[in-house]
Amino acid sequence: MNTATELQYPPLQAESPFELRRNLGSKMPEAQVRQALASGEMGFLHSFTTGSTVDGPGVRLVAWTTGCQFRCLYCHNPDTWNVNNGIPVTLSMAIEQLRKYRHGLKVMAGGFTLSGGEPLLQDRFAVRLLGAAQNMGIHTALDTNGSLGNRLSDQELNAIDLVLLDIKCWNPELHQYLTATAIDPVLQFARRLASRKRPVWLRYVLVPDLTDDPHDVGQLANFAAQLGNIERVDILPFHQLGQYKWKELNLNYTLQHVQPPSAQHVGIVRDSFRARGLNAY
Ligand code: SF4
């Protein structure tokens, strides 16, 4: 099996997820890929990054998976859409990375976050890696678009300390336009997490003139407030850091003229959530 131990791969550790990575797993035979994904013995990772303070509590080690079925117009890491762009990494290699950082993460009251891409496209790998982290006493977070939440059993959900749930917008038509997928499975997963009282941080990317409709934001805030398990809401301002990747990958980027929202604009949206009693930042 080709693995990242061989020299043709860049280091697993990246400066940031904004490094463009592609075709790193494309030499793996398809049958082997399918088998690895089914067992969770191997996964495909864009990279590991360290030192994040925005992907869960404390300082985080983050593993960025490849593969995503959404096509968000504002995606800043479209090189993670295709699973084959990632480095094939055995489960034991990934666990070794966790082991390297576990003491530091505990000292900094941080933990491990599995992000992507959409980690649940590699659900068996995700479950096994998060489980291994938890067994080492590391706080675990799963950053997900929520649409594949039904791949996790209730028991598996219990092994994740925190879900970072990205809800892209409230309006179903807009969701389809924005992500090329339906919103219903996302909301179903949100309700399931609530019924099981699993801690959730809600993440919302604010894109001027796209996801800032006050009525829709208010509806989402109402929904979030009723769930009862949303510990925190993060309003993430749209930015252009990933724009160059769209160009490099020959993808049609349509938001090149959109400016990041002003601090005041972010504040207005944040206040919509706060007005419903949510801790929004
Ligand atoms: S869910 Fe995340 S990784 Fe997938 S397209 Fe949207 S922003 Fe990109």
Reduced 3-state DSSP string for 18-67: CCCCCCCCCCCCHHHHHHHHHHCCEEEEEEEEEEECCCCCCCEEEEEECC
Share the mean pLDDT of the chain.
Answer: 94
What is the predicted pLDDT for the residue at 23?
82
pLDDT number for residue 25: 83
Q: Is residue 25 part of a domain?
A: no
Atom 3 (ligand 1) nearest CA:
117
Q: 2 lies in a domain? A: no
Does residue 63 fall inside a structural domain?
yes
Provide the pLDDT for residue 94. 96
Which residue is listed with tokens 């796209």? 210
Residue whose CA is closest, atom 2 of ligand 1?
Answer: 117
Which residue type occupies 202?
Answer: L
How sure is the predictor about 10, in pLDDT bands with cuts at 50, 70 and 90?
Answer: confident
Burial grade of 245 (CB within 10 A; 0-12, 13-18, 19 or more): buried
State how far the Cα of 217 lies from the Cα of 120, in Å rounded to an integer. Answer: 26
Domain-located, residue 5? no
- Summarised one tens digit per residue, pLDDT across range 160-173 is 999 999 999 999 99
User: Does 14 map to a domain?
Assistant: no
Mean per-residue pLDDT for 160-189? 98
CB 140: neighbour CB atoms within 10 A? 23
The answer on pLDDT for 3 being more than 80 is no
Can you give the pLDDT at residue 2? 47
| Residue of 46, 66, 69, 70 to mutate, ligand 1, most atoms within 8 A of C-beta | 70
Measuring from each residue's beta carbon to the nearest atom of ligand 1, which residues come in under 6 Å? Answer: 68, 70-72, 75, 77, 80, 116-118, 145
Measured at the alpha carbon of residue 53, what is the angle toward residues 49 and 59, in degrees to the nearest 5? 75
Virtual torsion, Cα 19, 22, 28, 30, nearest 10 deg: 120
Residue 48: per-residue pLDDT = 94
pLDDT tens digits for 207-255?
Answer: 999 999 999 999 999 999 999 999 999 999 999 999 999 999 999 999 9
- pLDDT of residue 83 exceeding 50, the answer is yes
Which stretches of the chain are assigned E, i.e. beta strand? Answer: 42-52, 60-65, 87-90, 111-115, 139-144, 162-166, 200-206, 230-237
What is the per-residue pLDDT for 7?
46
- Average pLDDT for residues 9-32, to the nearest whole number? 83
Ligand 1 center to 103 CA (angstroms): 31
40: left (phi over 0), alpha (psi -120 to 50) or beta: left
Q: What is the pLDDT of residue 65?
A: 97
The region of weakest confidence among 26-35, 124-133, 143-152 is 26-35
Amino acid at 137: G
Q: Of 9-13, 97-101, 107-111, 244-248, where does mean pLDDT reach its minimum?
A: 9-13
- Residue whose token pair is 């860049």: 10
Residue 1: pLDDT band (50, 70, 90) is very low
Instruction: Map tokens 């790193």 to a residue.
Output: 24
**What range does the domain containing 157 cover?**
30-274
H-helix or E-strand spanning residue 215 = helix 214-227
Asked if the structure places residue 281 within a domain, the reply is: no
Q: Could you say which DSSP state residue 118 is in?
A: -
What pLDDT does 225 receive?
98
CA distances from 181 to 114, 137, 185, 228 (A): 22, 36, 10, 26
- Flag whether 130 is in a domain: yes
List the residue whose alpha carbon is closest to atom 8 of ligand 1. Answer: 75
For the chain, what is the domain count?
Answer: 1
Nearest-atom number in ligand 1 for the CA of 145 is 1
6 in a structural domain: no
> What CATH number did the domain enclosing 177 receive?
3.20.20.70
Q: What is the mean pLDDT of residues 114-136?
A: 97
pLDDT value at 124 more than 60:
yes
The mean-pLDDT minimum among 6-10, 36-40, 170-174, 194-198 falls in 6-10
Atom 6 (ligand 1) nearest CA: 72
Task: Give the pLDDT confidence score for residue 242 in this predicted structure.
Answer: 92
